[in-house]
Structure 1
Amino acid sequence: MTASISTPSAPKLLIVEDDRELGPMLSGLFASEGYAVDLAADGQQGLHLGLSRPYQVMVVDRRLPGIDGLELLGRLRRRAVTARVLILTALGDHHERVRGLDGGADDYLVKPFHIDELVARVRALTRRFAEEAKQLPIGTGRLDVELHQVELVDGSAVQLSPREFDLLLTLALRPRSVHSRAHLRARVFADTSAESLVDTYVYYLRRKLGREAVLTVHGYGYQIGTL
């Protein structure tokens, strides 16, 4: 098993691949894309990691030693693991795709594949997981989407106003992205043309959550930070 060194808010990815060249290559690729990556070389290790650690996305080879990829997926789903799963396989038959999707997979990619397509599909699954999650990680804290509050590591909660929540949610949904002031104004403050309102609410969030909650990327805009 290998793990990447990444930021606290990096999306967590599990790769279950027994190919000794492909597995480490994919692990390094997604680590460079900003993911916190664990690599399992067989189905048994993949099951252990999938049940013991929280992942947003898993990339699972169809044919694995120990536990087959579809059996692994079935066991994870029966234990209520909600990570988005992409199946990698050399079996491109239509019926195999149907089996994989019916078995709980969210996407299916046939080998050989283009690396940029795999990265794009995993990125899309990461967004889906985040958009459907009830809580989003922000460093050591979490944004509760239902209660519109931030839960800090000490157990305390900070309530947000509707505009503060919408701004923080927009940033948290795409933690690796830098959002321009124009984009945030259009997304969160569509009823005004004043981009300065973005700066005002960034100030409000920092006053409530600390200066590192929202990062300024000079010349570009804002990015989610840490708590």
Structure 2
Amino acid sequence: MSSPDRAVPRVLLVEDDRTLADLVSTLLQEESYQVRLAVDGQLGLHRGLTERFDVLIIDRGLPVLDGLDLLRALRAHGVDTPALLLTALGAVADRVEGLDSGAEDYLVKPFEVPEFLARVRALHRRHRATAASLPIGTRRLVPVTRTVVDPTGRTADVSLSERECALLALLARAPHQIFTRSQLRELIFDRADKDSTVDTYVHYLRRKLGRDTVQTVRGLGYRLGAR
């Protein structure tokens, strides 16, 4: 079963140069990161919207969907995972454009390995500092304790199971994304589970936190509803 609170930090690497992608993946794995590779911007967008990551590393010049458009799309869908842009374009205007597109950092190729790893560590620290809780409307989910707190900081009198918490956290991390039942089964539940299992846990969340917590999008799936 998948859980959004793994101890091993996850990195989404979107890079079409396989030689560079292999090098970066090896460097990150040696630093104990789990790397998920996407070789074009469209695949990177899909994975960025449907999977949980601690750091995004995006090449600016990508096929299908370029790095800036990919990053803008992720930000527009509420994905706030810290992002590092890799590019051969080092002019001030290029850096400004990259940062204005939603990147937290910008590194020009070729780069020095120690600097690259230091920047990834800094982004990971930033993500850990901001990922302690997730907004669900006016309330916040605290995944580590499986609790929900109101705007005053008071903990709601509910107890979330591991699966309930994992499902709610996934929806909260991408609040504008519609997840199909098959996506939710793949990301949260066991593959052997049926679509009805997803429906059951949505029912559990609504019963504990209110019917508007999860919205049904008819014919498509579910998304966060308490926005």
TM-score band by shorter chain is: 0.5 to 0.7
Distance in 2 (CA, whole Å) between partners of 1:48 and 1:28 is: 23
The superposition leaves residues 160-206 of structure 1 with CA deviations (integer Å, 9 ceiling, x where unpaired) of xxxxxxxxxxxxxxxxxxxxxxxxxxxxxxxxxxxxxxxxxxxxxxx
Change in Cα spacing, 1:151 to 1:114, as seen in structure 2 (3 Å) is farther
Where in structure 2 are the equivalents of 1:1-227 lying within 5 Å? 8-135=6-133, 142-143=144-145, 153=162
Query: Quick check: 2:147–2:160 contact (8 Å CA) kept in 1?
Result: no
Distance in 2 (CA, whole Å) between partners of 1:106 and 1:154 is: 31
Q: Which amino acid aligns with 2:162?
A: V
Aligned to 2:213: none
Change in Cα spacing, 1:145 to 1:59, as seen in structure 2 (3 Å) is farther
The superposition leaves residues 66-108 of structure 1 with CA deviations (integer Å, 9 ceiling, x where unpaired) of 1010000000000000110000000001000000001100000
TM-score (norm 1): 0.59
Query: Quick check: 1:135–1:143 contact (8 Å CA) kept in 2?
Result: no
Q: Secondary structure at the match of 1:108?
A: strand
Q: Which amino acid aligns with 2:144?
A: R
| More relative contact order, 1 or 2 (CA 8 Å, 6+ apart) | 2
Q: Secondary structure at the match of 2:95?
A: helix
Offset, 1:8: 3.3
Query: Quick check: 1:83–1:129 contact (8 Å CA) kept in 2?
Result: yes
Deviates more, 1:143-152 or 1:93-102: 143-152
Displaced runs of 4 or more, over 3 A: 143-152
Query: Quick check: 2:14–2:38 contact (8 Å CA) kept in 1?
Result: yes
Offset, 1:154: 6.1
Distance in 2 (CA, whole Å) between partners of 1:100 and 1:23 is: 20
Query: Quick check: 2:71–2:102 contact (8 Å CA) kept in 1?
Result: yes
Distance in 2 (CA, whole Å) between partners of 1:12 and 1:85 is: 13
Q: Secondary structure at the match of 2:18?
A: coil
Change in Cα spacing, 1:144 to 1:127, as seen in structure 2 (3 Å) is farther
Distance in 1 (CA, whole Å) between partners of 2:64 and 2:93 is: 23
Offset, 1:151: 6.4
Paired residues in the alignment total 146
Deviates more, 1:126-135 or 1:72-81: 126-135
Change in Cα spacing, 1:84 to 1:9, as seen in structure 2 (3 Å) is same
Query: Quick check: 1:24–1:39 contact (8 Å CA) kept in 2?
Result: no
Find the structure with the greater CA-based Rg: 1
Distance in 2 (CA, whole Å) between partners of 1:46 and 1:154 is: 26
In the alignment, structure 1 segments of 5+ residues that lack a partner are 1-6, 157-227
The superposition leaves residues 125-177 of structure 1 with CA deviations (integer Å, 9 ceiling, x where unpaired) of 000011112349xxxx7246985999662669xxxxxxxxxxxxxxxxxxxxx
TM-score (norm 2): 0.59
Offset, 1:56: 1.3
In the alignment, structure 2 segments of 5+ residues that lack a partner are 135-142, 166-227
Aligned to 1:219: none
